[in-house]
Amino acid sequence: MSAGPAAKPDFPWWLVVASVLALAVALFVAVDDIYAQVFATVAKGIGITVFVTVIAFALASMLGLGFALMALSGSRWLRQISRFYVEIIRGVPILVLLFWIAFVGAPAFVAGWNAITAPLQAAGLFGELLVRDVSLLWRAIMALTIGYSAFIAEVFRAGIQSVDKGQIEAAKALGLTRAQRFRLIVFPQAIRTILPPLGNDFVAMVKDSSLVSVLGVADITQIGKVYAAGSFRFFETYSIVAYIYLLLTVGLSLSLRALERRLRRQNDEE
């Protein structure tokens, strides 16, 4: 029995409504002096939010790929280490991890660094590292990196395992090394499976980057919090904060969906 014709995709009325609302808010902000001032103030944190998200996501992706490869390696010890890391880190809330890295991990790192470099410090080659030398911005980035790397590791692992085993065996028969098989055969095919959930993690990190405000990092949320506390314009401030985050996340989601459709068409053509 032949399958029926594929259902036509729904017209994105939700996007039309969301775009009209976004444009209406933009016009209102442009003509209202109070909202314009709030937007101009809060928008100063966009750069920090984007910086934290991009750097933390890039580091988390590299770390996650490393643990995914460990989970798929032939070494039982590497597989167990990877599984231990993923399960433990995924069990800790991001907010708790932020506090732990900032106020426990960073001092422990400084103490360890000073112990290792003590001979060099005594020779005058290094100065003593202080806890305050490790900025709260980089403590926040490392916390997000560690927290998200565990989830990204599972995304990479599942994507790599989705590649047809027959192609890997054929590559072995052709004499390709393990690194060559991964670079030329496995990863180009796995990325099509990996990209959608990886994109979702990126959008989620944009939102979770607001948690760095608890450490005083001057992102969108922190600047909004400080402005609202000083002006008592809580409604206006947090409405603008929500508006800016929606612009960032919805814009990213639409871009990622367009990229997924493009990759799907390429896959169908092949």
Task: Give pLDDT tens digits for 56-77.
Answer: 999 999 999 999 999 988 899 9
Cβ within 8 Å of residue 201, ≥6 positions away: 57, 148, 151, 152, 155
Task: Give pLDDT tens digits for 134-188.
Answer: 899 999 999 999 999 999 999 999 988 888 888 777 877 777 777 778 787 888 8
Residues 132, 177 contacting (CB under 8 angstroms)? no
* Six token digits for residue 224: 């909004």
Whether 238 has a pLDDT exceeding 90, the answer reads yes
Question: Position of tokens 């098989």?
Answer: 181
Residues 148, 155 contacting (CB under 8 angstroms)? no
Q: How many whole angstroms from its chain centre is CA 236?
A: 28
Residues 153, 71 contacting (CB under 8 angstroms)? yes
* Six token digits for residue 136: 């709260």
Domains of the chain: 21-264 (1.10.3720.10)
What is the pLDDT, as a whole number, of residue 2? 47
Residues 210, 220 contacting (CB under 8 angstroms)? yes
Query: What pTM was computed for the model?
Result: 0.87
Q: Is the Cα dihedral 156, 62, 100, 204 positive or negative? A: negative
What is the pLDDT, as a whole number, of residue 74? 84
